[in-house]
Chain A
Amino acid sequence: MVEETPWQQALRYANRANPYPFYEELRKTPVARQPDGTYVVSTYREIVALLHDPRVSSDPKKCPAPGAARTQGSGEPAAEPIRQVLTEPNIIISDPPEHDRDRRAMMPHFVGPPPAPRWISDLEPEIRRIVGGLLDAMQGKSRIDAVDAFAYPLPVTVICKVLGVPLEDEPRFHRWIETALDALDFGPEAASEEIQSRQAEGRQAVQEFGRFAAELLDGYARQPGPGMLSALMNADGQDARMSKGVLASNALLLIFAGHETTVNLIAHSVLTLLRHPDALEQLRRRPELIVPGVEELLRFESSVQFWHTRSALEDIDIAGTTIPKGAPIFLVYGSANRDPERFTHPDTLDLERRDNQHLGFSQGIHFCFGAPLARLEVQVAVGEFVRRVRGPRLVEDPPPYRHNQIFRGPRHVLVDIDGISA
């Protein structure tokens, strides 16, 4: 039996609640070649350099050996089925110039027209109303699940409204997303029978999800309606309209990215604050700290632990290693955000941390498209939770985690409470 690398160990489900000791080990080799040929980058400086390096592609089609997730001994790389199904590109897996053109075409339909795009700010009352309703519904309860009853409903309701996706369809796409995420595995457990047996289902789920997005767009082509998808579908030809396939792929990306990550950040924020009573108390006394606080919470427990579609277009010399042309590159944001070379006392939660230029939303051209919305949602949700929930206590620590390694987050966060303030 060959010994597992720190990266392989970090990916094991048993270590999902606390991958950080393995990241610390991993950072001793900032750019670490894995047995399958993937180059895993774990330090802040090197990740930022690669994010701004035009020799790095995000397009998996440009990776001749897309064995990014190939598992030793097994023929079937666990990340492949989903890629095979998603035949049309979206912005997260595109390079310039297509990436920039499509992102620029989508942005005003998300944030509002220039020069003073105000749609995100204008969502605040609606976000407050939803959060208020979720907290009101906890009245009279002594135990709640901060994931199912709080973290999940907000982002999904908001993204449906923004995009123009009927909320009634939520149970369907929720199931497709869960199924696809459970089939994705980059670690030593990918070869297990259990994960292998989920592959077919995962593939089918992505297919159905894609069909759903395409049908939604067809509907809006016949009959325009509210929201971003209808607007994009019916946009004037001026800004190089996207093909329907590309639009459907981007719609799928937005529905998915638009809620999964935000759910995990709200859930992790509640969990982290309950583990740090001093920080919780500080936030109660000084509610305005929620703004820098959310940045720190995202640094501390990053919702996107790493990204897996990049590869080298040429040989790249970095940190004493050469990443050869064609090699897959994983950027481990969750590790960079705990890099002591960049952040003093990185394992300490400091809601007032200065110079907190974390990589929770990445950097460079793929900087998170939805960041302003995500920030607003999490600031309001966590701020109101802290203000209104009386005597919150964690029931289980660590809580059970979801399977997925990229979109890392707790499956449930059970909290005992004394009541809900007005």
Chain B
Amino acid sequence: MRIVVDLNRCQGYGQCVYLAHEVFRLSGQEALTYEPNPDEEQRLHVERAAAACPVQAIVLDRLDGTEGSTTP
């Protein structure tokens, strides 16, 4: 899957990191780094991270027809 974080919006709240630490990292003083092409198995975690971002800075593709495949 593919994700993009709008780093102009990102405030370094870290909410995404706490819910998907394999994809998002906070390095140093509140600077976010992330894996733009995480494994499909990370989808649930990435969706949680995107929903949790207080400024809605995380955009993920929803175009790859995986609807319904993330049943926990």
> Which residues of A come within 8 Å of B, CB atoms?
111-112, 114-118, 120-121, 285-288, 291-292, 294-295, 355-357, 361, 363, 367, 371-372, 375-376, 379-380, 383
CA distance A371 to B53 in the complex (A): 10
Residue numbers in A under 8 Å from B8 (CB-CB): none
Residues of A within 8 A of B27 (CB): 114-115
Query: B52 contacts A357, CB within 8 Å?
Result: no
Q: Is the CB of A121 within 8 A of B54?
A: no
Question: How many angstroms from the CA of A355 to the CA of B9 in the assembled complex?
Answer: 14
CB contacts (< 8 Å) of B67 on chain A: these are: 286, 288
> In whole angstroms, what is the CA distance A116 to B15 when docked?
12
* Residues B8-50 near A (CB distance < 8 A): 13-15, 17-22, 25-27, 44-45, 47-48
CB distance from B58 to the nearest CB of A (A): 12
On whether the beta carbons of B19 and A288 are closer than 8 Å, the reply is no
The residues of B that contact A363 with a CB separation of less than 8 Å are 54
Give the top 4 A-B pairs by smallest Cβ distance, nearest first.
A372-B18, A116-B21, A288-B70, A118-B21
Residues in B whose Cβ lies below 8 Å from that of A121: 18-21, 45
**Residue B4 is within 8 A (CB to CB) of chain A in the complex:** no
Contact B54 A288, beta carbon cutoff 8 Å = no
* New A-B contacts (9) at CB < 8 Å, excluding given A367-B54, A371-B52: A120-B18, A121-B20, A121-B45, A288-B68, A291-B51, A292-B51, A371-B15, A376-B19, A383-B72
Is the interface on chain B under 10, 10 to 19, 20 to 34, or 35 or more residues? 20 to 34
**Given A287-B72, A372-B15, A372-B19, A357 and B54 contact (CB-CB distance below 8 Å):** yes
CB distance from A204 to the nearest CB of B (A): 37
Report whether A287 and B71 are in contact in the complex, using a CB–CB cutoff of 8 Å.
Answer: yes
Q: Which residues of B contact A118 (CB under 8 A)?
A: 21
Q: Are B70's CB and A372's CB within 8 A?
A: no
Q: Point out which of B26, B27, B54, B56 has the most chain A C-beta atoms below 10 A from its C-beta.
A: B54
B residues adjacent to A (C-beta < 8 A): 13-15, 17-22, 25-27, 44-45, 47-48, 51-52, 54-56, 67-72
Given the complex of chains A and B, what is the CA–CA distance between A118 and B17 in angstroms? Answer: 8
The smallest beta-carbon distance between B26 and chain A, in angstroms, is: 6
Q: Are B48 and A376 in contact (CB under 8 A)?
A: yes
Question: Can you name 10 A-B residue pairings with CB atoms under 8 Å?
Answer: A112-B21, A116-B17, A121-B20, A286-B68, A288-B67, A357-B55, A367-B13, A371-B52, A376-B48, A383-B72
- CB contact under 8 A between A380 and B72, given known A118-B21, A120-B18, A121-B21: yes
**Cβ contact of B47, chosen from A111, A117, A291, cutoff 8 A:** A291
C-alpha spacing A371/B21, complex, angstroms: 15
B45, B52, B56 — most chain A CB neighbours (10 Å): B52
Contact (Cβ within 8 A) A375 B19: yes
- A120, A291, A371 interface centre (most CB from chain B within 10 Å): A291
**Chain A proximity of B44: nearest CB distance (Å):** 7
Q: In the complex the two chains form, what is the Cα distance from A356 to B50 in whole Å?
A: 11
Q: Which of A116, A287, A291 contacts B48 (CB 8 A)?
A: A291
Residues of A within 8 A of B47 (CB): 288, 291-292
Given the known A-B contacts A361-B54, A371-B15, are A114 and B45 also in contact in the complex, defined by CB atoms under 8 Å? no
Asked if B25 and A116 sit within 8 Å, CB to CB, the answer is: yes
Q: Is the CB of A117 within 8 A of B17?
A: yes
A285 to B68, CA, bound (A): 8
Max chain B Cβ within 10 angstroms of own Cβ: one of A121, A287, A356: A121
Residue of B nearest to A354 (CB): B56
For the complex formed, measure the closest distance between the CB of A263 and the CB atoms of chain B, giving whole angstroms: 20
Task: Tell me how far the C-beta of A357 lies from the nearest C-beta in chain B, rounded to whole angstroms.
Answer: 5
Q: Say whether, besides A115-B25, A121-B20, A121-B21, A379 and B15 are in contact (CB < 8 Å).
A: no
Complexed CA–CA distance, A96 and B69 (Å): 44
**In the bound complex, how far is the Cα of B68 from the Cα of A286, in angstroms?**
6
Q: Verify A372–B13 contact, CB threshold 8 A.
A: no
How far, in angstroms, from A140 to B13 measured CA to CA in the complex?
A: 45
Given contacts A287-B72, A355-B56, are A379 and B48 in contact (CB under 8 A)?
Answer: yes
Looking at the assembled complex, report how far the CB atom of A376 sits from the nearest CB atom of chain B, in whole angstroms: 7
